[in-house]
């Protein structure tokens, strides 16, 4: 990777005209009803102390998803300190395999141990010795929640709802949420059991408590983050200030909200969903709900649009001084958000780290020199391919800068130009050509981007997100890269329109007074998350010990040899009837694997950003007998592949990773598609000496030598496996440093702007 992520920026969709109606529901009226408060207040937490001891054994018949012998791991740990279940089940069985690229030593257990146990001995949050005061406190709360369970179980739905209203009344009257937590969480658990047939496991309750306390809960993939999120979202919603859940795309926002809706509704809590295409009116309605699910991007744009509106109405000053509220204006336009109180970030590493630098930008006026710019982009795109490396331009290996040589500049001057292009300054023309050469060499169709018609049928460049494999609709590369690609593909050029408002994803989340996050893969980023967001990472143990098996890494000389070996393995596992998932780093590579499978006559499905509409169908069948699925990172986050009945006995699903990503976290996401919820499963990493990660981590010279070696020597060369892990760690460290530098500059800029009385979000430099 060449820091392309840093080039990315978001362009807003058109700023919608706000509508005049005010749908803001006033839940407070119902909440403030003392009658409700009294009737539902009949079993306060304090009254249940006696029953707590009893509740440490599970009084419930197992439900769907419950696993009686090991189901409540924590419970058994409390009852029996010697219980093997009291260990943290985070390692996978890996018999006699070379070590998989491990996260940097200084970043992993040390951080977690410090947070959980306070000493380095306390590697397990549930071991008795070295338990941190925090964990002792959390276990005490868990015991209180467990104690309430039989009581709530005996009550009807209406009583639960009344209890919920009473809690809201108390929260709005100023009672601390932490004192309401045990009863609140017990209510959510009971509502989950009734409405979703899913009872929160003890480990999920512990995860929920850590989220309430502003931590990043690291829960293994498939452990049920969606259900865990319901706990802190509910509790924070009680204050009436709105609780937000930010996730990575519209699809997940909608899916999770709809999934959890029956639980919340049973407790009288409203749920809103923000989708990209929503107008201002429906956005306002969604934000007026007690809990709102949406994407980080939409939360950011709504914040900016509101801010622009407030400035237009000259109300920003009072708003900033805390005298805002209401959101009414003389023109009838209203802001959509009710403020920012609590945000739970799903896939926290993706949003808080990978997306952190992404600026969300709302454009302003049309550029008057538009035609000239458009024509120059086209002129550069036509001529760039005729420029030769070393003769006309050079590339700086460290900075990835393209620079024209003297001969290159001479060539630019000599090129034929139209009148419009000729009026452009010569230095600008050099830059246009340099950028265009870079785009021709580094930005490839069906790898970094696709060309896709928009809703008006006009072709557009849509970025393929490196981390999620999904199309990042609405996002643009900056510094003219996006326009240079449009020129290269000969489609309409979207000249930037200047900046009216801008915020980075990082700044957006730092504005929430209460922030928490969940992810399957945060330990490797614990240091960064703590440093930037002051959110400690807490590993939450798995509910059942993972049975996922890691098979030895395989290394080949060339990509071709690697993919041939991959399909051979697919053939073998497929013959046993086990489902196989093959992860690739880009759309074009998924197509290569698909072609090779076709040649062998193996029926399969391809899941990439080009066939997103088939996603639900492909995923729902992927765990069935004999299914083969080729996917990009799209199959990573949020893809819940259910195994068909007989598959578990055969050994579960087999995942094949065909290349390392720039961050080990992304590889872990794909691996996490198998062995979910304690299921059987296996995975293997395939590598080749021409993989991009070697260039990024070991430098172009060393990578070129390895590549030569790979071409010269066919067959497997597994002894190189460790080198790949080393390269990946180097790339991770480089990205970490880049992010820190950027954060520093952003901080300085904002400080300076505030000093001179500017708004750092609205008075943005272009």
Ligand X SMILES: Nc1ncnc2c1ncn2[C@@H]1O[C@H](COP(=O)(O)OP(=O)(O)OP(=O)(O)O)[C@@H](O)[C@H]1O
Binding residues: 204, 222-226, 640
Tokens of 652: 């579960």
Which positions from 9 to 38 touch ligand X by CB under 6 A, shown as an x/- string? ------------------------------
Tokens of 719: 């002894």
Stretch in the footprint of ligand X (CB under 6 A) among 26-34, 160-168, 199-207, 507-515: 199-207
Q: Is 198 in the site for ligand X (CB under 6 A)?
A: yes
Closer residue to ligand X (CB): 206 or 596: 206
User: For residues 206 and 138, is the Cβ–Cβ distance under 8 A?
Assistant: yes
Q: What tokens were used for 363? A: 């454009």
Interatomic CA distance for residues 542 and 737, integer angstroms: 32
* CA dist., res. 761 & res. 102, Å (int): 39
Q: Considering the complex, what minimum distance in angstroms separates the CB of residue 257 from ligand X?
A: 13
Minimum CB distance to ligand X, residue 671 (Å)? 10
Distance of closest approach, residue 197 Cβ to ligand X, in angstroms: 8
CB 609 within 8 A of CB 632: yes
- Per rule CB under 6 A, is residue 194 in the interface with ligand X? no
For residue 482, which of 523, 435, 529 has the smallest C-alpha distance?
A: 435
Minimum distance between the CB of residue 189 and ligand X, rounded to whole angstroms? 9
Between CA 658 and CA 656 the distance in angstroms is: 6
Among 72, 223, 434, 662, binds ligand X (CB under 6 A): 223
Q: Which residues pair with 475 in a beta bridge?
A: 10
Task: Pick between residue 462 and residue 670 the one whose CB is nearest to ligand X.
Answer: 670
Q: Which of 5, 221, 249, 584 binds ligand X (CB under 6 A)?
A: 221
Q: Which is nearer to ligand X, 349 or 691 (by Cβ)?
A: 349
Give the residue from 295, 300, 296 showing the smallest Cα distance to 336: 300
Q: In the complex with ligand X, which residue's Cβ is closer, 656 or 698?
A: 656
DSSP state of 93: B
- The three-point CA angle 34-40-43 to 5° equals 130
Q: Please state the closest distance from residue 67 (CB atom) to ligand X, in A.
A: 9
Token pair 């709504």 is found at 302
- The Cα–Cα gap between 47 and 53 comes to 13
In angstroms, give the least distance from the CB of 198 to ligand X: 4
- Residue from 227, 235, 437, 529 binding ligand X (CB under 6 A): 227
Question: Which pair of tokens denotes residue 149?
Answer: 């369970």
Which is closer to ligand X, CB of 171 or CB of 260? 260
| Cα gap 488→379, rounded to integer Å | 10
The widest CA-to-CA distance across the chain, in whole angstroms, is: 90
Which tokens hold the place of 477?
Answer: 């590369």
Which residue in the set 185, 201, 212, 303 belongs to the binding site for ligand X (CB under 6 A)?
201
Among 219, 340, 374, 573, binds ligand X (CB under 6 A): 219
Crossing angle of helices 133-153 and 177-196, rounded to 10°: 50
Interface residue with ligand X, options 208, 268, 520, 623 (CB under 6 A):
520
Q: Which tokens in the block code for residue 121?
A: 């001995």
Q: State the minimum distance, in angstroms, from the CB of residue 264 to ligand X.
A: 16
CA atoms of 650 and 653, how far apart (whole Å): 9
Phi, psi of 218 (to 5 degrees): -95, 105
Using N-to-C axis directions, what is the helix angle for 721-755 and 664-671, rounded to 10°? 120
Name which position in 89, 199, 488, 514 contacts ligand X (CB under 6 A). 199
Q: Does 193 bind ligand X (CB under 6 A)?
A: no
Binding site membership for ATP: which residues?
Answer: 204, 222-226, 640
* Measured distance CA(630)–CA(604) in Å, rounded: 7
Copy the structure tokens of residue 641.
């592949």
Report if residue 274 touches ligand X, rule: CB under 6 A: no
Piece of 153-161, 323-331, 503-511, 634-642 that binds ligand X (CB under 6 A): 634-642
Concatenating the DSSP letter of every residue in 712-734 gives: HS-SB-GGGHHHHHHHHHHHHHH
Nearest residue (beta carbon) to ligand X = 65
Q: Which of 163, 637, 707, 735 binds ligand X (CB under 6 A)?
A: 637
* 646 to 675: interface string for ligand X, x by CB under 6 A: --------------------------x---
Q: Which stretch binds ligand X (CB under 6 A): 170-178, 195-203, 450-458, 696-704?
A: 195-203
Give the C-alpha separation, 214 to 517, whole Å.
8
Q: Does 200 bind ligand X (CB under 6 A)?
A: yes
Does residue 643 touch ligand X according to CB under 6 A?
no
Least CB distance to ligand X at residue 527 (A): 22
Which member of 146, 226, 680, 728 binds ligand X (CB under 6 A)? Answer: 226
**Under rule CB under 6 A, residue 224 binds ligand X:** yes
Residue for token digits 């209406």? Answer: 158
In the complex with ligand X, which residue's Cβ is closer, 351 or 723?
A: 351
Please state, as a whole number, how many other Cβ atoms lie within 10 Å of the Cβ of residue 40: 21
Give the number of residues in contact with ligand X, rule: CB under 6 A.
20
Please, what is the Cα angle at 676 between 217 and 727, to 5 degrees?
Answer: 70
Q: Which stretch binds ligand X (CB under 6 A): 32-40, 196-204, 233-241, 567-575?
A: 196-204
Q: Which residue from 602, 540, 619 is spatially nearest to 567, judged by alpha carbons? A: 602
Does residue 182 contact residue 145 with C-beta atoms inside 8 Å?
Answer: yes
Distance of closest approach, residue 222 Cβ to ligand X, in angstroms? 5
Give the x-and-dash track for 673-712 against ligand X (CB under 6 A).
----x-----------------------------------
Among 4, 24, 65, 494, binds ligand X (CB under 6 A): 65
Smallest gap from Cβ 252 to ligand X, in A, equals: 8
Give the tokens for residue 328.
């009414």
Alpha-carbon gap, residue 141 to 418, rounded angstroms: 74
Question: Of the candidates 681, 678, 656, 679, which has an alpha carbon nearest to the alpha carbon of residue 667?
Answer: 656
Binder to ligand X among 225, 305, 502, 604 (CB under 6 A)?
225
Residue ranges that bind ligand X, judged by CB under 6 A: 65, 198-201, 204, 219, 221-227, 520, 637-638, 640, 672, 677
């Amino acid at each position: 990777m060449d820091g392309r992520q840093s080039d990315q920026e978001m362009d807003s969709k058109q700023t919608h005209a706000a509508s005049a109606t005010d749908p803001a529901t006033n839940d407070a009226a119902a909440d403030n009803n003392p009658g409700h408060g009294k009737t539902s207040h009949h079993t306060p937490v304090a009254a249940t102390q006696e029953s707590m001891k009893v509740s440490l054994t599970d009084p419930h018949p197992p439900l769907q998803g419950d696993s009686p012998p090991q189901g409540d791991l924590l419970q058994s740990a409390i009852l029996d300190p010697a219980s093997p279940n009291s260990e943290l089940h985070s390692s996978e069985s890996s018999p006699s395999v070379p070590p998989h690229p491990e996260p940097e030593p200084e970043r992993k257990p040390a951080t977690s141990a410090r947070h959980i146990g306070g000493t380095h001995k306390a590697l397990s949050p549930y071991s008795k010795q070295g338990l941190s005061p925090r964990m002792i406190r959390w276990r005490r709360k868990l015991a209180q929640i467990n104690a309430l369970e039989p009581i709530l179980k005996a009550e009807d739905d209406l009583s639960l709802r009344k209890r919920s209203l009473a809690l809201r009344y108390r929260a709005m009257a100023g009672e601390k949420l932490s004192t309401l937590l045990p009863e609140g969480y017990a209510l959510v658990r009971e509502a989950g059991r009734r409405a979703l047939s899913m009872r929160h496991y003890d480990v999920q309750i512990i995860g929920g408590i850590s989220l309430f306390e502003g931590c990043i809960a690291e829960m293994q993939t498939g452990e049920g983050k969606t259900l865990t999120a319901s706990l802190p979202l509910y509790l924070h919603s009680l204050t009436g200030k709105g609780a937000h859940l930010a996730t990575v795309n519209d699809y997940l926002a909608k899916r999770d909200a709809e999934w959890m809706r029956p639980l919340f509704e049973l407790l009288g809590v409203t749920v809103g969903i923000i989708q990209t295409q929503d107008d201002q009116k429906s956005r306002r309605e969604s934000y007026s709900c007690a809990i709102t699910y949406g994407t980080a991007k939409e939360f950011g744009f709504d914040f900016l649009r509101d801010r622009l509106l407030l400035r237009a109405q000259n109300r920003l000053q009072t708003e900033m001084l805390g005298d805002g509220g209401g959101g009414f204006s003389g023109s009838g336009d209203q802001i959509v958000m009710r403020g920012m109180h609590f945000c739970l970030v799903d896939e926290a590493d993706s949003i808080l780290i990978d997306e952190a630098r992404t600026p969300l930008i709302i454009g302003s006026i049309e550029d008057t020199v538009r035609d000239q710019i458009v024509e120059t982009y086209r002129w550069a795109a036509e001529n760039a391919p005729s420029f030769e490396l070393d003769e006309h331009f050079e590339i700086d290996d460290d900075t990835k800068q393209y620079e024209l040589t003297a001969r290159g500049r001479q060539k630019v001057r000599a090129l034929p130009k139209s009148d419009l292009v000729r009026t452009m300054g010569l230095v600008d023309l050099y830059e246009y050509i340099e950028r265009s050469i870079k785009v021709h060499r580094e930005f490839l169709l069906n790898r970094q981007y696709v060309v896709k018609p928009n809703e008006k049928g006009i072709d557009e460049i849509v970025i393929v997100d490196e981390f999620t494999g999904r199309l990042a609709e609405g996002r643009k590369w900056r510094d003219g890269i996006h326009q240079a690609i449009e020129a290269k593909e000969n489609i309409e050029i979207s000249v930037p329109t200047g900046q009216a408002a801008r915020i980075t994803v990082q700044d957006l989340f730092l504005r929430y007074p209460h922030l928490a996050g969940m992810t399957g893969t945060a330990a490797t980023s614990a240091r960064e998350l703590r440093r930037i967001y002051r959110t400690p990472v807490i590993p939450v143990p798995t509910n059942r010990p993972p049975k996922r098996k890691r098979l030895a890494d395989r290394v080949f000389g060339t990509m071709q040899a690697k993919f041939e070996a991959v399909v051979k393995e697919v053939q073998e596992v497929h013959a046993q009837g086990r489902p196989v998932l093959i992860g690739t780093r880009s759309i074009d590579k998924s197509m290569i694997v698909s072609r090779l499978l076709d040649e062998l006559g193996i029926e399969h499905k391809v899941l990439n950003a080009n066939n997103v509409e088939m996603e639900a169908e492909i995923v729902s069948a992927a765990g069935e007998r004999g299914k083969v699925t080729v996917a990009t990172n799209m199959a990573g986050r949020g893809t819940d592949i259910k195994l068909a009945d007989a598959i578990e006995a055969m050994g579960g699903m087999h995942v094949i990773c065909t290349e390392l990503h720039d961050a080990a976290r992304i590889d872990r996401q794909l691996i996490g598609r198998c062995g979910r919820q304690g299921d059987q499963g296996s995975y293997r990493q395939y590598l080749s000496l021409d993989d991009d990660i070697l260039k990024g981590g070991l430098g172009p010279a060393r990578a070129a030598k390895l590549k030569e070696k790979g071409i010269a020597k066919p067959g497997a060369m597994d002894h190189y496996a460790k080198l790949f892990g080393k390269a990946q760690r180097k790339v991770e460290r480089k990205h970490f440093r880049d992010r820190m530098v950027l954060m520093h500059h952003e901080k300085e800029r904002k400080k300076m702007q505030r000093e001179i009385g500017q708004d750092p979000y609205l008075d943005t430099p272009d």
